[in-house]
Structure 1
Amino acid sequence: MDVTVKFLGGAGAVTGSKYLIDLGEFEFLVDCGLYQGNRELRDRNWDKFPMPPMEMEAIVLTHAHLDHIGYLPKLVKQGFSGPIYCTEATAELAKILLLDSGKLQEEEAEYARKKGYSKHDNPQPLYTQEDAEAVFPKLVPQEFERPFSIHPDVTVTYYHAGHILGASIVKILVKGKEQEKKLVFSGDLGRYHDPILYPPSRIPKADILWIESTYGDRVSPPVKPEEELGRAIRDTFDRGGLVIIPAFAVGRTQLVMYYLFQLMEKGKIPKAPIFLDSPMAINATKLYLDFKSDHQLTAVLEDDNNHPFDHPQLHYFQKQEQSRSLNEYRGNAIIISASGMATGGRVLHHLFHHLPDEKNGVVFVGYQAEGTRGRRLLEGEPEIRIYGREVPVKAKIYQIDGLSAHADQNELMDWAEGFIEKPKIAFIIHGEEKSASVLGQKLHEELGWRTILPQYLESFLLFENI
């Protein structure tokens, strides 16, 4: 049989990951991501899928971020009816994230309809919450490090990738008439010294490798993020203020909660109320208790009522009335709320009410994309528009480095050096052009690998007559 791959996303960009593997009589997709970012990329979500979705027979997911799973409701709506394989934690996270994505799609369409800025007379969502729910019965959860078959000639195994709960490296064995070939997808690789998640697993052999390159051109600074976080909190508390931490609901929030617990227990910051004000983050945090074998905190979580996700200072706020009660809060406290770049969500009303007070602090714990409120706050703009009003920025703004969930260049190279044989081809994926190019060149020069930077909709013959 001949084996080909077509790059339907995640090529030349860090979004929309979709890789179509064609074995002739069996076609399946690795990842099914939503395009995010600029208008040109987002418009691809509306393009006609390059093959009839009902002809595709399976999907294999690496992890639950929307740029890897966010197109699933659209594909199911268009007729895909096969199984969607993923790890157990990914299945549960996917339900949380896809429902929220469907809700946002509906709200954006309604807003466009109201304001009349769409080129369509009656703008429609890409998909709805109901479309998202239609995905759930098709999810087929699998254990880590236990091979499973998706076709008589195709066996898949998941290995820990770090990055977020349930994230995996995917090894796919394709059995031909006379030989067997290994396809390996890195997924998104996490950090080697993450205090919560396992480091990326070593994979010794791959005939064809797909390696992410999100941070392929940069090395993270050697900082201790918990110390930087502690300094920002002490500084704000000394002024008698409260701290607002905009944080992504999955991964970043739980890491911040871990560090805050450690800092308080060690006496490095005063014990003060922590309000987790994000229903999605609360639901995601509960999964760390459900999937204890998927992370390193098993022993930590055994101390009932006194661990990072359950202790006297921590308060979970699900209801909007609880969230609104924080508008008038004064004094030492920490509010963690989404979204991480202050582009929407509950964190906006906290910023609206607390930015004008010079006692307060806003601590950013992740990358702030150009054009976002988070980036504008970091760049020192004196006023920020929220809810149609210009809000004076008097609170002190902090940025904590070293909390990224992505492996940097050194860690990507370290993982690549774990292969004891050179892959026949290493496709450099899931990175902007510069980061992919830099990593590809480094892998070629230092490890002697044959690297390819695929383009959107490009196809390659991987094996002939195996």
Structure 2
Amino acid sequence: MPTSLTFLGAAGTVTGSKFLLDHGAHRLMVDCGLYQGEREWRRLNWAPLPLDPSSIHEVVLTHSHLDHCGYLPALVKQGFAGPTLATEGTAELAAIILRDSAHLQEEDAENARRGGYSRHDPPLPLYTEADAEVAIRTLRALPYGEARDLGSGLRIRFARAGHILGSATVAVEADGGTVLFSGDLGRTDHPVLRAREDPPAARTVVLESTYGDREHPEPGAEPHAEFADAVRRTIRRGGSVLIPAFAVDRTELVLSALADMLERGAIPSAPIYVDSPMALAALQVYRSGRHQDELKPGAVQGLERWPGLHTAHTADESRALNNPHRPSIIISASGMASGGRVVHHLKSLLPDARNTVVLTGYQAVGTRGRALADGAHEVKIMGRYVPVRAEVVVDEEFSVHADSSELVDWLLRIPEPPETVYVVHGEEAAAESLAGRIRRETGWTVAVPRLGERVLVD
């Protein structure tokens, strides 16, 4: 029975993961992510898919980040009615993320209508909170390591990817052949999660390349030294530190790092606020004890070191942080400053040179975070340009994406050489760099697919 793979997303860019497997009459989509970053990619969120969504039998999620699950409500809105299969951690976190995404979609549309800065009249959300609830009801949790028969000769199996809680690689067996999807791979040593698992044998591998052209810096004697220096400088000059952080996993790691800094005396005591309802909900999932088999021993206890942590749940509590009355540390989503409450904080805090913005992870091209990292003098927020006078610091130590060497190391643990490796989910330079390295070091066939390209994998 012929099996084909179509690259419907994360080809030529680092977001919008969507991969379609057609096995005879059976149709399976692996990941269902939103495009983020540059406008040319974000427009694709609104473009019709080149297939009828009702023809898809299942969606399988590798993890809960928005660029892997955030299109699901739109897919359901267009007619997808099958189950969405994920690990227990992904199912739990995806529900939180989809509700937040829908809320922001509606909020952004309403702000654009009131502010008059949209070219659409009226501006509409891609999907609503009601659409998200329907999508959430499609989620079905599967444990790691358990093969699930989908019928038509198809089976799937999850293995730990070590990227965020619930993250998985997905092996899809099709009549004896296997297509292995890496999802987003974690580093060899995650601060909170158990290590990623080795890959199984597979004829075809679909490999991410977010950090395919770079190596993470070696940790110094003092972890996050540049971050600590920035906090000390900022508080001395009477400013506040704003940390755009992904609500899932990154907020936990930032809190853990700040706790370590305080215990070592590396930073002075200052109020620390978490201003993200989604991050607070995700933190409770990590702390819940329901995922002990995925967390390192002692990880939950490490996340309980904050009896005096300040949290901002309501909009009024969040607005109060736009002008802190004393030097403070504010952690708020989103991690690339592309939406959410952090955008309002940037609008207020960027013009003041006493303040500092600390970026803690990958910043996709076209996002405000990338513009700040690249030294922009102004950034556009809610239809107006805001001057960047605040200090901007990038802390690369927080990344939990495997770098080039770690990606190749994972690939080399496959028990036998695959027929083809497809390099996806990376900016063009990163994907091409990783593909070239794999060819040189292995002699395997490696391709960087184009968006919409269809290949045979049977």
* TM, length-normalised to structure 2: 0.90
Q: CA deviation at 1:298?
A: 4.1
* Higher alpha-carbon Rg: 1
Q: 1:14 to 1:318 in 2, by over 3 A?
A: same
Distance 1:426 1:185 in 2: 10
Q: CA deviation at 1:197?
A: 2.4
Q: 1:270 to 1:18 in 2, by over 3 A?
A: same
Q: Secondary structure at the match of 2:137?
A: helix
Contact 2:373–2:394 (Cα < 8 Å) also in 1:
yes
Q: Please, which of 201, 209, 213 is the counterpart of residue 213 of structure 1?
A: 209
Q: CA deviation at 1:120?
A: 5.1
Distance 1:112 1:356 in 2: 23
Q: Secondary structure at the match of 2:190?
A: coil
In the other structure, the counterpart of 1:254 is: 252
Contact 2:350–2:386 (Cα < 8 Å) also in 1:
yes
In the other structure, the counterpart of 2:392 is: 397
Alpha-carbon RMSD: 2.6
Distance 2:366 2:173 in 1: 43
In the other structure, the counterpart of 2:420 is: 425
1:201-229 CA distance string (max 9 Å, x none): 11141111111112211222224452222
Distance 1:21 1:411 in 2: 27
Q: Please, which of 315, 326, 334 is the counterpart of residue 329 of structure 2?
A: 334
**Structure 2 counterpart of 1:226, one-letter code:** H
In the other structure, the counterpart of 1:2 is: 2
Distance 1:55 1:148 in 2: 20
Distance 1:312 1:350 in 2: 25
Q: Please, which of 451, 454, 458 is the counterpart of residue 456 of structure 1?
A: 451
Contact 1:241–1:332 (Cα < 8 Å) also in 2:
yes
Moved more, 256-265 or 392-401: 392-401
Q: Secondary structure at the match of 1:14?
A: coil
The 5 A counterparts of 1:166-177 are 166-175=166-175
The 5 A counterparts of 1:150-165 are 150-151=150-151, 153-165=153-165
Q: CA deviation at 1:82?
A: 0.9
Moved more, 220-229 or 399-408: 220-229
Q: 1:373 to 1:456 in 2, by over 3 A?
A: closer
Q: 1:112 to 1:2 in 2, by over 3 A?
A: same
In the other structure, the counterpart of 2:358 is: 363
Distance 1:388 1:207 in 2: 49
In the other structure, the counterpart of 2:51 is: 51
Q: 1:124 to 1:358 in 2, by over 3 A?
A: closer
Q: 1:114 to 1:11 in 2, by over 3 A?
A: same
In the other structure, the counterpart of 1:86 is: 86
Q: 1:403 to 1:140 in 2, by over 3 A?
A: same
Q: Please, which of 234, 237, 240 is the counterpart of residue 236 of structure 1?
A: 234
Q: 1:201 to 1:2 in 2, by over 3 A?
A: same
1:95-122 CA distance string (max 9 Å, x none): 1221222223333444555566666554
Q: CA deviation at 1:344?
A: 3.8
Give the percent of matched residue pairs that are identical in Structure 1 and Structure 2: 47
1:183 is aligned to 2:179: yes
Q: What runs of 5+ residues in structure 2 fail to find an aligned partner?
A: none
Q: CA deviation at 1:413?
A: 0.8
Moved more, 366-375 or 120-129: 366-375
**Structure 1 counterpart of 2:92, one-letter code:** E
In the other structure, the counterpart of 2:100 is: 100
Q: 1:445 to 1:270 in 2, by over 3 A?
A: same
Q: CA deviation at 1:347?
A: 2.7
In the other structure, the counterpart of 2:267 is: 269
Distance 2:45 2:386 in 1: 34
